[in-house]
Chains A and B, each alone.
Chain A
Amino acid sequence: MKDLQAEKEQIEQAKHNPEAFGELYDQNYSAIFNYCLRRTGNAELARDITGETFVKALANIKSFKWRDISFSAWLYRIAGNEILTFFRKTSYKAVSLEYLQEVQGYDPESQYDLEDEVIAAEQELKRHVDYLFYRQKIKQMPVKYQEIIALRYFEGKSLKESAEILGKPEGTVKSLLHRGLDKLRAHMRDK
């Protein structure tokens, strides 16, 4: 486990230093992308949500209080909120990221390798039939159960970590998980 003091210092540096932020980004990109991918089952959407998550993290890192929550938990929380936005609106636009790219001058040529990656990711998704089956069932449940089940079983987070990410007491998370499993079991029966 990463030294907490070191992480604290790294975050403080990242508030002013692009390289330090870049390091935090590299450490967390893959986890956040895969979380978004497993929650949404859609590589392109996961890519957009990941982008939006990091733009929002960058925009708000100065207000980030290390003592309240770990940095990675904070990223999971932002990503979770973005996913919720997607579920609520049924369509999703990575507004902040698109705007940032627009301001910087977007180079459409670099789209090719990005699209190849999305295609490869979609193929990887298709190979995991069991996961797709369970995701389909989980998707039918209320979001509060989806997120706790995803954090626990897709991301391997402990109850304590999940509680930190969701900003809920551990007991509540435990109860949510229990009820979520009950509901999932019921959904399985309906298959």
Chain B
Amino acid sequence: MEKTKEAENRKLHATLENLKLPTVKMPAHQKRLRETLLNSGYFAGETPQSLTRNKINGGIRMKPKIFVIAASVALMLLTFGAYMAFFATPQVVANLALQVNPAINLRLSDRNTVVDAEGLDEQSRTLLAGLNIKGKEVQEALSIIAEALHKADFLTDERRILVALSPVGDRLGEVELQTLKGTVEEALSGYLNEHDLQVKVVSAVITDELADVVQNFNLKPEDYVDLVYEAGSEVAIQALNLGNELGIDPALFKEEFGTIAASLIDMTETGITEENALAILRSGLAADMTLEELTTITAARIDLHEAGASQDNIMAIFKLMEAQIAAGVDRALLLEEITTITAAKIDMLDAGIPADIALNALKTALAADPTLEELTTITAAMIDLHEAGASQDNIMAIFKLMEAQIAAGVDRALLLEEITTITAAKIDMLDAGIPADIALNALKTALAADPTLEELTTITAAMIDLIEAGLSKQEALLRIQDAIAADPTLENFDDLLEDPVKQNGEDDEIIEEEPKPEDEVGDVPDVVEDEESESQNKEKQEETNDAAVTDKPDTDEAEKETDVVRGVESESQADEAKEETDDTAVTDKPEPDKPDTNQKPDDETDN
């Protein structure tokens, strides 16, 4: 089957390689777009990206120059108004936290000046020591700070300037804070552009509530500005509250909050709603209180989201993990392998397996392989079975079968290692048109006969060969069972099957006269599960062994003679099997006037 698949893939590859493709020229559009790009003002210092952002964010749709004038007038009015209202003493109305790597906190007055500046780390304290910014206007103070940062080589290409503005008291409303934010951005960008520095400014206005929380946690802008920029203050507060809520070590939570925020941003950027992202984060943190695998967990969730899994289905993985942990599986191992577990599920979703079924399959796979060493092999096998048309029950039956084998003493590791072989054997049978339940029975027979799995595909391939040679599915299964019973070592398995097949070939005409309907095979008994049948098989096997030992001659004629003996035994076994089949109310018994292909014709004994 694998070979056929490869051949088909090669053919498809060749077809696609030689596919005639449309190639279109668009000279008018090319010319027009070229003009638009080259006249964009970008090369004169404007950046189309920033113009674009205004529009995308739903900003005021004015031409840039008008916008700048309007913003300047608004700023002047604001500054003038504030100045007139509080002429006497400067009053702190806002905090400005700025971080490149050094982090600085500025307290701003109602007169738009810096009341005081505080370094939040050693670097920034050293930096501020040489600067005179107290009493200076915000714009000027920021230019001085930017200059100092530049000289100290902090404004390299990879860096970003993060700014968080928060109100102090209630003097500044949302509009005033946004205007102040614009002033700050303008001052910083002005310096950066003037010095041709590729440093991005990311600024956000945070609520006073968030400012308090941030202060309590002693966080720096790098920990939360991006999150506020992407998702707003409310989400940041909820995220910050998760530490207390879940009882995570506060020092660890603080240290890792930047990572936590980045995880939230990653999720929201891929389209997961803020509410869902917070729920995922909460579960992720609860599952991993040491926060060691947090980004792995959220990345896995994002992958699932992108693969089309619903929020419920994403959350179900956490439940599944907790169930596994409760069942004794090591939490660290599960967390370490979360990507593998998720990838396994995504593969199943990609293969078109419905999410709930994929989750069940994953549950089964995890139960079958608690060490997770063969997890993707197992799920890949499940996918192959699904793609081969096996039903959910039938896929799961393989695992029940495996558990039965393990209970019977077969090594779990061996079964898991060979899961691909086992499923490939089943798929081959399904591909050969053998109904799923019969294929499962054949597999059971093969596994029971060959716990080392060395001859597994030999047995199942023989089943296919027999059916292709004209035997009914039931007859083929019985023939296989007889051959195994006759020689449990399987050394003579092929030989034991060969003659009946040959005979069957001679009987082709008779079989063709009265072909067996395909649908009869549906009711074949469950050979292995049926204990009675199993014990009868054992008895038959013992009888056959006895006969073989007793009757086996030492001469070159041994094979022929054994065949003769086996022919007789086989005949009686077939009759017994038929009786058993009748007893188990199987409708698939041969019709009275139809030759039993399991029986050798008289003339074979002449051989």
The answer to whether B40 and A30 have CB atoms under 8 Å apart is no
By a CB distance below 8 angstroms, the chain A residues around B32 are 110, 114
Chain B residues near A117 (CB-CB < 8 A): 26-29
Whether B387 is near chain A, meaning CB under 8 Å from some CB there, is yes
The interface stretch among B15-23, B205-213, B410-418, B453-461 is: B15-23
CB-defined contacts of A34 to chain B, threshold 8 Å: 21-24
B38: chain A residues at CB < 8 Å are 18, 21-22
Docked pose: A185 CA to B5 CA in angstroms: 9
> Given the complex of chains A and B, what is the CA–CA distance between A116 and B39 in angstroms?
24
- Report the bound CA distance from A116 to B47 in whole Å: 32
What is the CA–CA distance of A99 and B52 in the complex, to the nearest angstrom? Answer: 7
Does A95 contact B56, Cβ atoms closer than 8 Å?
yes
Q: Pick the residue among A47, A63, A113, A128 that contacts B198 (CB under 8 A).
A: A63
Chain B's closest residue to A56 (CB) is: B49
**A47 engages B29 (CB within 8 Å):** yes
Residues 1 to 55 of chain B near chain A (Cβ within 8 Å): 5, 8-9, 12-13, 16-17, 19-30, 32-34, 36-43, 47-49, 51-52, 55
What is the interface size of chain B, counting residues whose CB is below 8 A from a CB of the partner?
45
Judge whether B30 and A29 touch: CB under 8 Å: yes
Enumerate B379-393 residues with CB–CB distance to A below 8 Å: 387
A60 at the interface (CB under 8 A from B): yes
Complex contact A113–B28 (CB within 8 A): yes
Across the interface, A185 reaches (CB within 8 A) one of B9, B22, B350, namely: B9
**Residues of B contacting A29 in the complex (Cβ-Cβ under 8 angstroms):** 30, 33-34
Q: Let me know if B24 and A97 touch, CB within 8 A.
A: no
Does B63 touch A at the CB level, under 8 Å?
yes
Q: Could you tell me the distance between the alpha carbons of A186 and B350 in the complex, rounded to whole angstroms?
A: 12
A-contact 0/1 string along B559-585, CB 8 Å cutoff: 000000000000000000000000000
Interface 0/1 of A35-49, CB less than 8 Å to B:
001100001000100
Asked if A38 and B198 make an inter-chain contact with CB atoms under 8 angstroms apart, the answer reads no
Q: Which residues of A contact B21 (CB under 8 A)?
A: 34, 38, 128, 131, 154
Which of A75-83, A100-108, A162-170 contacts its partner? A100-108
In this complex, what residue of A is CB-closest to B56? A95
Contact indicator per residue, chain A 42-68, by CB within 8 Å of chain B (1) or not (0): 010001001100111011101100000
Cβ of B34 and Cβ of A60 under 8 Å apart? no
Task: Write out the residue numbers on chain A whose beta carbons fall within 8 Å of the beta carbon of B48.
Answer: 55, 58-59, 96, 99-100
Q: Give every chain B residue within 8 A of A16 (Cβ-Cβ).
A: 43
Residues of chain B with a CB closer than 8 A to A130's CB? 19-20
Smallest beta-carbon distance B65→chain A, Å: 10
Q: How far is the CA of A176 from the CA of B415 in the complex (A)?
A: 28
Contacting residues of chain B (533-572) with chain A, CB-CB under 8 angstroms: none
> Are the C-beta atoms of B22 and A127 separated by less than 8 Å?
yes
Contact at A103–B64, with CB atoms within 8 Å? yes
| Smallest beta-carbon distance A116→chain B, Å | 8
**Counting CB contacts under 8 A, is B307 at the interface?**
yes
In the bound assembly, the distance between CA atoms of A30 and B22 in angstroms comes to: 12
Q: Is B271 close to A, CB under 8 A?
A: yes
Instruction: State which of A21, A47, A95, A184 has its C-beta within 8 Å of the C-beta of B55.
Output: A95
Chain A, residues 147-184, CB within 8 Å of chain B (1/0): the string is 00100111000000000000000000000001001111
Determine the distance from Cα of A16 to Cα of B17 in the docked complex, in whole angstroms.
40
Q: Is the CB of A25 within 8 A of B36?
A: no
A136 is an interface residue with CB less than 8 A from chain B: no
Q: Of residues A104, A121, A149, A153, which shows the largest number of chain B Cβ atoms within 10 Å of its Cβ?
A: A153
Chain B residues contacting A47 (CB-CB under 8 Å) are 26, 29
Determine whether the beta carbon of B43 is less than 8 Å from that of A17: yes
Cα–Cα distance between A26 and B30 once the two chains are bound (Å): 8
Q: Name the residue among B34, B52, B56 with the largest chain A CB count within 10 angstroms.
A: B52
Known A113-B28, A117-B28; 17 more pairs at CB < 8 Å: A16-B43, A18-B43, A26-B34, A29-B30, A37-B22, A50-B33, A95-B52, A95-B55, A99-B51, A99-B55, A101-B36, A103-B41, A114-B29, A128-B20, A131-B21, A154-B21, A183-B350
Binding site for A on B (CB under 8 A): 5, 8-9, 12-13, 16-17, 19-30, 32-34, 36-43, 47-49, 51-52, 55-56, 63-64, 157, 198, 271, 307, 350, 387
Q: List 21 A-B contacts (CB under 8 A).
A: A18-B38, A22-B38, A26-B30, A26-B34, A29-B34, A30-B25, A34-B22, A50-B29, A51-B36, A54-B33, A58-B37, A63-B157, A95-B52, A95-B56, A96-B48, A97-B33, A99-B51, A101-B36, A121-B24, A124-B23, A186-B387
Which 3 A-B pairs have CB atoms at the shortest separation, nearest pair first?
Answer: A59-B49, A153-B16, A113-B28
